[in-house]
Amino acid sequence: MTGVQFKGAATPLKLSVDPASDTALVSSLSSEDIARQSLGVNVDIFRSIPGVQVGDFGQVGMAQGLSLRGWPGANDSSAVAFFLDGKQWNEASGAGANGYLDIAPIIPETIASMTVVKGPFNARYGGNFAQAGSAIATSVDSLDPGVSISGGSYGNLRLLGTYGRKTDTMSYYVAVQGMRDDGYRDNSDQKQLSTFSKLTFDTGSGKLAFSLQTYNIDFSSPGYISVAGVEAGLIKPTAAVAKTDGGKKNLYTLLAKYTGGTEQQGIEVTAYAEHNDRTRFVTLAPLPQQYNVTNREDYGLSVDPHFSFDLMGSEALLAMGASIRYDDIEQTRVPSRNGAPIFGLDPLDVYSYLIADIKQTQYAAYASLSVKPTDWLKITAGGRYDGFDFDVKAQNYVSATNSYIDRAADAYTGHFGFKGGFAIQPIPELTFIGNVGQSVASPDGGRSVPTNPNLSSSVLTTKELGVAFNPWAGRFHIAANYYKTKFTDEVTFVGPIATNQGESKRRGYDIDASAMAVRTDQFTLRLYGNYSYVHGRLQSGSPIPNVAKWVASFGLHGDYKPDANKSDTLLFDIGQQLTGPQPLDAPVTGYSGTSARLTTKLGWQMPDLNNLKIWADGIYYTKGRSDEFGIRFRGQNYAAYLPRFRFHVGASINF
C-alpha cells in the first residue's frame, strides 16, 4: 500500500478518468489498507503514504497537520485538496486557515478507497488548495448490519453500529458512531456523534446515490505549553493552558451524485449542500484568550463528462468539467476572558479581532486530453481555470487609534493553469513519468480581501520526473521521483498570526520500495520502506517553517492462516515513522527535534463466523513526542505533548 500503485486495471498507461491512472506519482489505499492502520486521529490514515508528513497537533475538535512535498501542515492541512464523493472539504476563507481541512467527521469504515496524487497534475482535482497534491476518497455503496466496539487509553471508548440492505437494483445503509475520550492532557476530553447514510439506485444507464453526513462534537482544548517550562520541570507535560478553552462543532452534509455511462464514455454529476458551525475558545499563550465562531453554508454543483475516441489512429480520452460553489461565511474573532466573549475595544487583542460577512463564489472549468500513440506511451495535456468572486464586509480593530474600522470589498480574481505529462513503459515492469502543472490558492476573504481587494490568486508551478520498477509480478516495487516547485505567495504563521512571506521555492525527492518477502497459501509477508527529502526556502532565503527536512518510514504487513482450507486469518502490522527536525519560524531562531512513532497492530478475522474481528493496536513515541508540531513565538517553543504510549482493543461482528 505504498508507492506508485499499479494494481488492478489502473496503470499510468491506461486511458481512464480514475485518478489512480494519472501519469503522476499516485498512492492508493483500499478499505482493507485503512482498516489495518493504528489511528490515533483520522489524519493518521495518510501516514502510510510515502513522503507524507503528519502532525498530530495534540488538540481536539480541530484540523490536524497534513503535509507533503514541503508544504507546512501547520496551516491546518490547507495545501492538500481533499474530496469525498466529489465534494471538496477544504474551507475557503477558513477561520483557522484559508483552505482549512478537518477530516475528523469521517467514519473510516465508510471509506471504500482513497487515492493521493502528489502535485497539482490532475486537471479535475488539482485546482484550489492542491499545492501539495489531492486526496480523492469514495464512500462504500453498501455495509452489512453489524456492531463494533473498541476502547483504550485515557478513557477512550468508541461504538459503531451499521444497518443496511442490498438488492439487485438498490442498496442503503446507515452508520452511527459514538465516541468519548478523556484525553492524555488536562482539559482534553471530547464527546462526539457521527453518522453517514447512503441510498444508491441502479438506473440502468448508471448509478444515482444520495448521502447524508452528520457530525457533532463537544470538546475541551489543552493548548500549547512552553517546551522550556516542561524541560525545566516547571510545567507538567499533561498541563493545559486554560481550563475554559474548548468548543463545539456541528456539520451536516447532503450530497447527490449520478454516475452514468462507461469508462469509454460517461458523465458524473454532483450536487451538495452543507451547514458547518464551529465555536472555539482558545488561549495561545502568552496572548489572551480568543473567542472564535464560524457559521458556514455552502452549495455546489459539478458536471464532469468524458469521451474516448480515435485521434488520427491513436486512442484518446477527453475529460472535461465545470463546477460552481457558493460559500456564505460569518466569522467572529474577539477577545474573551474565562470563556466569555468581550466585544469591547482591547489593545491587547489586536492580533485576532475580526467580524466578517463573506460571500465567496468559486467557478472552475477544465479539460484534459490523454493520447496513446503506442502501447508504451501516454501523453496528457490540459488546462484549468479557477475564478473567485468575493462580496465581503468586515470590521477590524486598529490599535493606533484604539478604534474599529469597517471595510467592504467586491473583488474578482481568476487564473488559467496548464497541465501536461507523459508515461513511458518500454517494458511492462518499468515506467517513466514526467509532469508539469499549476494550481492556485484563492485569496482569503477574511484576512486579505477587505484590505487588498485587488489581490490575485496565489499560483504554484511544479515540475517532476519519476520512475517505477515492478518486477516479478508485483512482488517487488521500487519508485523514485524528483520535483521542483515555485509558489508566488507563501503564508506562514508567526505565532498565531498569518503572514505572507512572498515567493517560495522547493525541491525534493521521494524514494519508496516494498517487497513480498513470503507468499504461500498460508503466509504472506510484505516489507516496505520510504524516504523523502525536501529543500524549501522563502524569498528571504530562510527555511519554510513547520516543514521537516526529511521523513522516513519502514515496516511490515503479514497475514497468516493456520489452516489453508479455512478463511480464519491472523493479521499483524508493525511500522516506524520518523520525522526530521522542523524550523519553527522565519527567519529561523528555533527548531523542533526529530520525532519517532512506532505502531503495532494484531488482528484475528473469522469471515465464516459472521465476519468476527478482534484486534489490538498500540502507538508508541520512541522519541520526540512534542516534536510533530510546534510554534515559535517571542523566543520560546510551544508544543502539545502527546502520550508516550496509547493502545486500543476492539471487536466487531456482522449480523
**What pLDDT digit, counting tens, does each position of 498-523 carry?**
778 899 999 999 999 999 999 999 99
Report pTM. 0.95
Question: pLDDT tens for residues 419-468?
Answer: 999 999 999 999 999 999 999 999 999 989 998 999 899 999 999 999 99
What's the one-letter identity of residue 73?
G
Question: pLDDT tens for residues 210-257?
Answer: 999 999 999 999 999 999 999 999 999 999 999 999 999 999 999 999
Helices (H), ranges, 336-494: none
The radius of gyration of the chain from alpha carbons, rounded to an integer in Å, stands at 24
Q: Give yes or no for a cis peptide into 426 (omega within 30° of 0).
A: no
Helix (H, G, I), strand (E, B) or coil at 145: coil
* Structural domains of the chain ordered from first start: 19-654 (2.40.170.20)
Is residue 290 within 8 Å of 284, Cβ to Cβ? yes
Q: What is the pLDDT of residue 9?
A: 33
Q: What is the pLDDT of residue 7?
A: 37
Q: What is the pLDDT of residue 325?
A: 98
Is residue 532 within 8 Å of 550, Cβ to Cβ? yes
Question: Scanning the structure block, which residue is given the C-alpha cell 520498477?
Answer: 469
Q: What is the pLDDT of residue 20?
A: 84
630-633: strand order across its sheet: 225-226, 636-639, 630-633
Is residue 85 within 8 Å of 270, Cβ to Cβ? yes
Report which of 304, 436, 305, 317 is spatially closest to residue 13, judged by C-alpha positions. 317
| Residue 103 CB partners (closer than 8 Å, separation 6+) | 42, 43, 45, 63, 82, 89
Q: What is the C-alpha separation between 233 and 242, in angstroms, rounded? A: 19
Q: What is the C-alpha separation between 484 and 505, in angstroms, rounded? A: 8
Exposed / middle / buried, residue 312 (Cβ in 10 Å: 0-12, 13-18, 19+): exposed
Q: What is the pLDDT of residue 308?
A: 96
pLDDT along the chain (655 residues), means of 10: 36 85 88 90 89 90 89 83 97 91 95 94 94 94 97 97 96 98 97 98 96 98 95 96 96 98 95 98 86 97 97 95 98 90 71 89 98 96 98 88 90 96 94 96 92 91 95 90 95 73 94 94 95 95 93 96 94 96 92 96 96 97 94 90 97 97
| Residue 565 CB partners (closer than 8 Å, separation 6+) | none
Return phi, psi of residue 231, to 5°: -65, -30
